[in-house]
C-alpha cells in the first residue's frame, strides 16, 4: 500500500498564525519554509512530526522542513488539543542557519513530550481543555502563555469546588 501524503492548506494557515501569535518562541521560523502535510498512513506511533527536506531539493522547493500530521491519531483529537500538538511540533524547529540555509531540528524524544505532560498532566491529548489561542495578547512566549492558562483554569476549578 502506498502511504498518501498531501499538502494541507488549513494546517499551513494555522502554523502561520501560531508563528505570528508567539514571536518570542517561533519568530525565527519562516512559515514559507514549512511544507504542511497530512498523511493517512496507518499504525504509525506519532500524532505528528517534523522532518528535514533534502538539501538536494532546496533549488527547486521553497521549503526547508515538513511538518506532517497523521490523520489516524490527529483527526480524533479535539480542536484545542490539535493546536497544542501543532505548537509542540513547532518547538522542534530550532535555529535557522544561514550557512546551510536550514534549521537545526530538535529531536522528539520521551523527555520533550514529558514537558507537555508536566504542564498539562498525563493523558493531556484526551482531556486538555485549554485553548492556547486564548492566551493574553501581550504574551509572545507559548510556554508562558500555556502556564498562565493552566493556572487560570486550575483556579476556576478550585473555585467551583468550594
Measured from the CB atom, the residue of 41 and 152 that comes closer to Zn ion is 41
x/- track of binding to Zn ion for residues 106-145 (CB under 5 A): --x---x---------------------------------
CB-based contacts of 160, cutoff 8 Å, min separation 6: none
- CA dist 92 → 78, 100, 140 (Å): 22, 18, 17
Nearest approach, Cβ of residue 113 and Zn ion (Å): 6
In sign, the C-alpha dihedral spanning 126, 136, 114, 110 is: positive
Question: Which residues, numbered 93-112, are part of the site for Zn ion (CB under 5 A)?
Answer: 108, 112
Q: Smaller CB distance to Zn ion: residue 12 or 108?
A: 108
Q: Cβ closer to Zn ion: 107 or 162?
A: 107
- All three cell numbers of 93: 524547529
Contact criterion met (CB below 8 Å) for 31 and 16: yes
Residue ranges binding Zn ion (CB under 5 A): 108, 112
Amino acid at each position: 500500500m502506498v502511504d498518501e501524503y498531501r499538502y494541507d492548506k488549513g494546517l499551513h494557515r494555522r502554523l502561520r498564525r501560531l508563528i505570528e501569535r508567539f514571536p518570542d518562541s517561533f519568530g525565527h521560523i519562516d512559515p514559507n519554509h514549512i511544507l504542511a502535510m497530512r498523511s493517512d498512513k496507518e499504525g504509525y506511533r506519532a500524532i505528528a512530526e517534523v522532518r528535514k527536506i533534502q538539501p538536494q531539493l532546496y533549488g527547486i522547493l521553497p521549503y526547508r522542513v515538513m511538518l506532517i500530521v497523521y490523520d489516524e491519531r490527529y483527526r480524533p483529537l479535539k480542536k484545542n488539543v490539535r493546536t497544542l500538538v501543532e505548537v509542540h511540533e513547532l518547538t522542534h524547529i530550532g535555529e535557522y542557519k544561514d550557512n546551510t540555509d536550514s534549521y537545526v531540528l530538535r529531536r522528539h524524544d520521551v523527555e520533550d513530550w514529558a514537558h507537555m505532560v508536566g504542564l498539562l498532566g498525563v493523558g493531556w491529548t484526551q482531556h486538555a481543555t485549554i485553548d492556547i489561542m486564548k492566551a493574553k495578547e501581550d504574551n509572545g512566549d507559548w510556554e508562558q502563555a500555556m502556564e498562565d492558562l493552566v493556572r487560570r483554569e486550575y483556579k476556576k476549578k478550585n473555585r467551583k469546588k468550594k
